[in-house]
Structure 1
Amino acid sequence: MQAKTEARPVGIIGGTGLTTLSGLQIIGEQMVDTDWGEPSAPLVEGRLGEQPVVFLARHGNPHRIPPHQVNYRANLQALLRAGVRTVVGVNAVGGIHPAMGPAHVVVPDQLIDYTWGRASTFFEGELESVTHIDFTFPYDRDARQVLIDAAAGQGIQCSASGVYGATQGPRLETAAEIRRMERDGCDIVGMTGMPEAVLAAELGLRYVCLGLVVNWAAGKTDQIITMEEIQAAIDTGMSDVKVMLEQSVAGLGRLSPLPQSS
């Protein structure tokens, strides 16, 4: 692993089912203005144990912003300005791989982007030069390992790899679309994994996804997907997500910052 340094605040972006974070000792809230407008919600600053944390509700609090209208650029820049250098994106996802059913936790190592029309870069407008970042490995290896170790230490069943397929939403996918994604190699499907991951990379942030499977993807069973099914999986699995966050934030906070890109 990389050399470690003094603890910095860890950013946690909560998605569906994680609008607030229990166990967080709240110190204060602030709405940060950015070059790209306001983030989805005020930044909630606090501590999990001894570790400083900055929590942001991706869809707002209450949950009101659909995936394709989240201001991802403002969210990431606000966290950067708050001193965050490592970000955990918590995502509710659908399970495609047979081992990744409802209430299962996944720490993916790769992704495929199927979204369109979203503001997906900081490098646009009147630029002095064109910038291309390396995105071979979209999730930070060291941060992933901290989460995986936290799951193992608590006896939580967790897939330590997987391919996240990011779709446009807000509708769920068709069975044919899921079959296509499965052929492409996707193991899970969600709507908020991109452009969040690439924007974090452009800023030089360590970024990792913590995915909670909340339903089988379309066509993986002979039943339609219901919100009741999704809520039941959230109720069952979110406790594991919170335990993993609580057990990993100290290690995440000690990871050395990456060089800043923007």
Structure 2
Amino acid sequence: MSKWTIGVIGGSGLYEIDGLEGAEAFSIDTPWGAPSDPLMRGRIGDVTLVFLPRHGKGHRLTPTAVPYRANIDALKRAGCTDVLSISACGSLKQAYAPGDYVMVDQFIDRTFAREKSFFGPGMVAHVSMADPVCSRLSGLAGDAAERVGATVHRGGTYIAMEGPQFSSRAESNLYRQWGCDVIGMTNMPEAKLAREAELPYATIAMVTDYDCWFDEVEAVSVSNVLEVMRQNTERAKQAILELASGLNGVERSPSPQGIETCLDFAMITAPEARDPEILARLDAVAGRVL
């Protein structure tokens, strides 16, 4: 058996995956509340996929209202070894055209109204986010996307904004000056929480628009995003199945970046000062070290 169990978080437009063997829906309770939706577990050969629509079926949740902590905790409790995020985004580079995929490897977090950590007063931990994406998982997902015909850009900086409004032109141009490549509303604090849960995380960012900096094209709107998103979503489903198929018979080993053990030296609160109530909530996320 490969022992890969990949949690797939579906973004805007991606609310289900077809073609899984033995697919079954199930619910998980977490100390952080309910996840966005019931999870779906199925297999492609000996690779297990656990799917969760980030915004809930029917796109019920705003980017701010997504229960990020519950989602990551639920995937951890479901036995996921890795997490792949599928996310719609705007492009801040002319070369990254609508319909292209960007394998993000860096983030800038500009969100401000979300809970960003499983830890807090009574149990403090500091994990490294220097390299926030699992390079191996990102490479494998990018390869799968290329095999199903996607134009894939390897590497890019994703700036996460609070939303739900799109950027002003001034903001869009500022982010370009900062060197950002794509813009979205949902990968933070998701990537931070995945790291705290010792889950290797990668993002396929599906470009739907040029935000509003590119004067030669129409500024981003829901109507033009939806049209590109429909095309992207079908290819994303194919890429997910291709990724799983390609891992059949491939034995999973720990991430080369040591992500599965990143909490070993992250805990800073002395054992005698730790809050038992907080420790109880961390049973899945940090149970390995607690």
TM-score by length of 1: 0.92
Q: In structure 1, which of residues 132, 142, 146 is the aligned counterpart of residue 140 of structure 2?
A: 146
Per-residue displacement from partner, 1:4-51 (whole Å, max 9, x unpaired)? Answer: x83232100001010111223453111111110110000111123442
Equivalent in the alignment of 1:187: 181
CA gap 1:62/1:98 in 2 versus in 1, 3 angstroms:
same
Q: In structure 2, which of residues 236, 240, 246 is the aligned counterpart of residue 245 of structure 1?
A: 240
TM-score by length of 2: 0.83
Cα shift at 1:227:
1.9
CA gap 1:125/1:249 in 2 versus in 1, 3 angstroms:
farther
CA gap 1:260/1:23 in 2 versus in 1, 3 angstroms:
farther
Amino acid at match of 1:14: G
State the SS of the aligned residue for 1:67: coil
Q: Which 4+ residue blocks in structure 1 deviate beyond 6 angstroms?
A: none
Residue segments in structure 2 that go unaligned for 5+ positions in a row: 255-259, 264-285
CA distance in 1, matches of 2:59, 2:22: 20
Cα shift at 1:137:
0.5
User: Taking every aligned residue pair, what percent have the same amino acid on both sides?
Assistant: 33
CA distance in 2, matches of 1:68, 1:254: 37
CA-based RMSD: 1.8
State the SS of the aligned residue for 1:84: coil
Per-residue displacement from partner, 1:154-202 (whole Å, max 9, x unpaired)? Answer: 4421001111010001111111111111111110000001000000000
CA distance in 2, matches of 1:231, 1:23: 24
Q: Which moved more, 1:145-154 or 1:30-39?
A: 145-154
CA distance in 2, matches of 1:246, 1:254: 18
Please identify the structure whose Cα radius of gyration is greater: 2
Say how many residue pairs are matched: 256
Q: In structure 1, which of residues 256, 259, 262 is the aligned counterpart of residue 261 of structure 2?
A: 259
State the SS of the aligned residue for 1:235: helix
- 1:226 paired with 2:221, answer yes
Equivalent in the alignment of 2:114: 118
Is the contact made by 1:105 and 1:241 (CA closer than 8 Å) also made in structure 2? Answer: no
CA distance in 2, matches of 1:156, 1:223: 23
Per-residue displacement from partner, 1:117-150 (whole Å, max 9, x unpaired)? Answer: 21000111322xx311111001001101111222
Q: In structure 1, which of residues 126, 136, 142 is the aligned counterpart of residue 130 of structure 2?
A: 136
Amino acid at match of 1:150: A
CA distance in 1, matches of 2:111, 2:22: 35
Amino acid at match of 1:71: P
